[in-house]
Amino acid sequence: MTDTRLLHTVGVRAIEWLWAHRDGFRLEPDVDPEIGFLDRFKPVGELALVCKVLFREGVAGSRQAELARRLLDHVWRETLGGGSMLVRGQRTEPISPIPFETYLPFKELGYHQPEIERAAVLDHRLDSWCAFEVTPTRRLGLSAFQRRFGLRPRPPEHEALKATWLARTPEPWTVEGHIAYDVTHAVFHLTDWGENPGGLPPRLADYLAVWLPVWIDDWLDLRRWDLLGELLVVDACLPRPTLDERAWAGFAEAQRADGAMPAVREMPDIADPDELFDAVYHPTLVAAFASTLATSRALAGLTQAAS
Amino acid sequence: MKQSGTSALLQDAVLDMASSVASALRGGGHAPDDITTGGGPSGDLELAAARVLGADLVLPTVLCGIPPTADRLDLIRRTLEAFPPRPEAPPTVRWSHWALRRALRQADPSGSGSDERRPPEPDAAWLDGVPWPFLTHQLAVLASLALPGQDCAPARAARARTLDVARGFVRAVRRRDWLQAAGAGRWLTLLPDVPETLGLAAGLDFVELMGGDDPRVLLQVRAARLTGAGALV
């Protein structure tokens, strides 16, 4: 069992870095629509999801929570133009799920953009939405987001789950990087990003309890911090998290003093601030996510032990 | 240069010997096992190679019932005499020597120079409570002890930690350590309650596909299949 202070500090530092580099959450309004105006929404949506976890778990210190709130206000106002950029994205690609996916966590946090909501309701009626070709894991995520929005998921989540890699509990020695990311995201969607660990079917929780330690050991030694962070999130979503001491020590050690988490091995040598942001924002967000959930589970364990 | 040349010769000798045993195990042991029938290494090199392969030298006898040749038994006797484990030798070396003594006793119970009694077991405390990657590594080094119906302290340690050995198998495959994976897989064919999701049979096929160019890997995979299929001992 890892020292709770170490778990917590990783997240505190990560939020400090994200706040200091908040201008990196940027869209490219002038980009050719054919190239993809929507591509840059991903970091914004992920930030909102992780901040929601941070508020929900209630283990953040006052400064960390304050920075997270200001970060969200910043990206909603400055990056998304109060939601108007989501509308623009939706009008650029009406059937794309990206504006909806980005919007949902903001809505859950109290932000509001009526036109996106109307589009979400309309899309839900379209066969084209169901037929839209995405990976099985993302399809599971879209169904989960529809439920969270208040719609009846199409397809139902239990149907969407069947097509994922994880649902088939395949040979664990075949896992490589892409598969591992599919596994972590399937768990995120099934548990509503750690909010509801009971959403993970016992059969899958048992499978992960057996094999996750091997994958954590492997990607720790490979120093692939982004994926390791996501695997540590999965661990924190299990009925009995290991909060593996060696993995967390390595993960914390990889983090820079300013809170940035390299994706792989060391920090990249990049001078351009935007390029550097793009290279490390994701592992840093994941660090905040993993830290918050692991701290929460560690404290819950202490509470149970004391009662 | 001389040392590296010698070690390359030893490596070749080990591979030749492993290849011969692996061939004998193919299809349940119907192919000839001809390590010592000409063309093989001789003298010290042969003994050193036999020491590396250890008790697996008599696998065709143990698993397939093929009577050992007199040359093979003589090779084992000479190897045991030439390399008695030093007191400070690591546990895997002491256990390998023990396994070879046991193998000789079983392959040639009435032979001159072989112990009538079961050799006393070396200490096995070094495996107590070790992390699963180390446990698997050590067991894979001692894969020649993984035989159906043959008890010993490392086998008991393995039986108590099936899940850890299964994790070690996955770890070895992920790291492309085919020899360790094959050794761990061989142990797993003997262990109770192997998780079904491991996919051991396909895993062994995968190890053979990816690492079977190495006769030592091939030997372990074939041994695993035979033990998994309930080969005689």
Q: By C-alpha distance, which of B116, B119, B224, B115 is closest to B179?
A: B224
Locus of tokens 């086998």: B155
Domain-by-domain residue ranges, chain A?
4-302
Single-letter amino acid, residue B22: A
Spell out a b/e string for A164-190, using b for 16 or more CB atoms within 10 Å of the CB, else e: bbbbebebbbebeeeebebbbbbbbbb
Please report residues of B whose CB lies closer than 8 A to that of A170.
Answer: 197, 199
Mapping DSSP to helix (H, G, I), strand (E, B) and coil, where does residue B181 land?
helix
First to last CA, chain A: 19
Is residue A36 packed enough to be buried (19+ CB in 10 Å), middle (13-18) or exposed (0-12)? middle
Q: Rounded to whole angstroms, how far apart are CA atoms A144 and A138?
A: 10
What is the structure's pLDDT at B26? 87
* Residue in B with minimal Cα distance to A174: B174
> Exposed/middle/buried for A215, CB within 10 Å: 0-12, 13-18, 19+?
buried
Q: Which two tokens stand for residue A51?
A: 């901040």
**Closest by Cβ to B174, choosing from A170, A210, A218:** A218
- State the nearest Cα–Cα gap between B35 and chain A, in angstroms: 35
In Å, what is the CA distance from A262 to each residue of A144, A228, A255, A265, A281? 30, 11, 7, 7, 9
Question: Hey, where are the domains in chain B?
Answer: 2-228
pLDDT of residue B1: 44
The answer to whether A184 and A231 are in contact (CB under 8 A) is: yes
Are B163 and A173 an interchain contact pair (Cβ–Cβ within 8 Å)? Answer: no
Cross-chain residue pair A207–B197, CB shorter than 8 Å = yes
Supply the pLDDT for residue A104: 98
Residue B185 near residue B221 (C-beta atoms within 8 A): yes
> What pLDDT is stored for residue B37 in this prediction?
43
CA angle A219, A224, A227 (to 5 degrees): 80
Contact across the interface for A214 and B175, Cβ inside 8 Å: no
Higher pLDDT, residue B72 or B3: B72
More confident residue, A303 or B178: B178
Nearest CA-CA distance, residue B173 and chain A, Å: 6
> Quick check: B5 pLDDT over 70?
yes
The residue-averaged pLDDT of B18-25 equals 95
Instruction: Return the number of CB contacts < 8 Å for A and B.
Output: 41
Residue B229 has pLDDT above 80, yes or no: no
> Would you identify the CATH topology of the domain A4-302?
Glycosyltransferase (1.50.10)
pLDDT in tens, B144-170: 999 999 999 999 999 999 999 999 999
What is the pTM assigned to this prediction?
0.93
* H-run or E-run covering B12: helix B2-25
CB contact under 8 A, B174 and A171: no
Interface predicted TM-score (ipTM) of this complex, two decimals: 0.93
Residues of B in contact with A173 (CB under 8 A): 169-170, 173-174, 198-199, 203, 206
Q: Mapping DSSP to helix (H, G, I), strand (E, B) and coil, where does residue B190 land?
A: coil
pLDDT digits (tens, 9 = 90+) for A245-276: 999 999 999 999 999 999 999 999 999 999 99
Cα separation, A14 vs A19, in Å, equals: 9
Chain A hits for B137, Cβ within 8 Å: none
Residue in chain B nearest A216 by alpha carbon: B171
pLDDT of B28? 55
Positions of chain A with pLDDT lower than 50, given as ranges: none
Q: Tell me the pLDDT tens digit for each residue of B24-79.
A: 998 655 555 555 444 556 688 999 999 999 999 999 999 999 999 999 999 999 99
Res A183: pLDDT: 98
Of A172, A213, A217, the CB nearest to B197: A172
Q: Tell me whether residues B171 and A214 touch, CB distance under 8 A.
A: yes
Q: Give CA–CA dist B56/B47, Å, rounded.
A: 14
CA B51 to chain CA centroid, nearest Å: 11
User: What are the pLDDT digits (tens) for B100-155?
Assistant: 999 999 888 776 555 556 778 999 999 999 999 999 999 999 999 999 999 999 99
Q: Which residues in B lie closer than 8 A to residue A214 (C-beta atoms)?
A: 167, 170-171, 174
pLDDT of B200 reads 97
B167:A175 CB<8 A: no
Cα A14–chain centre separation: 14
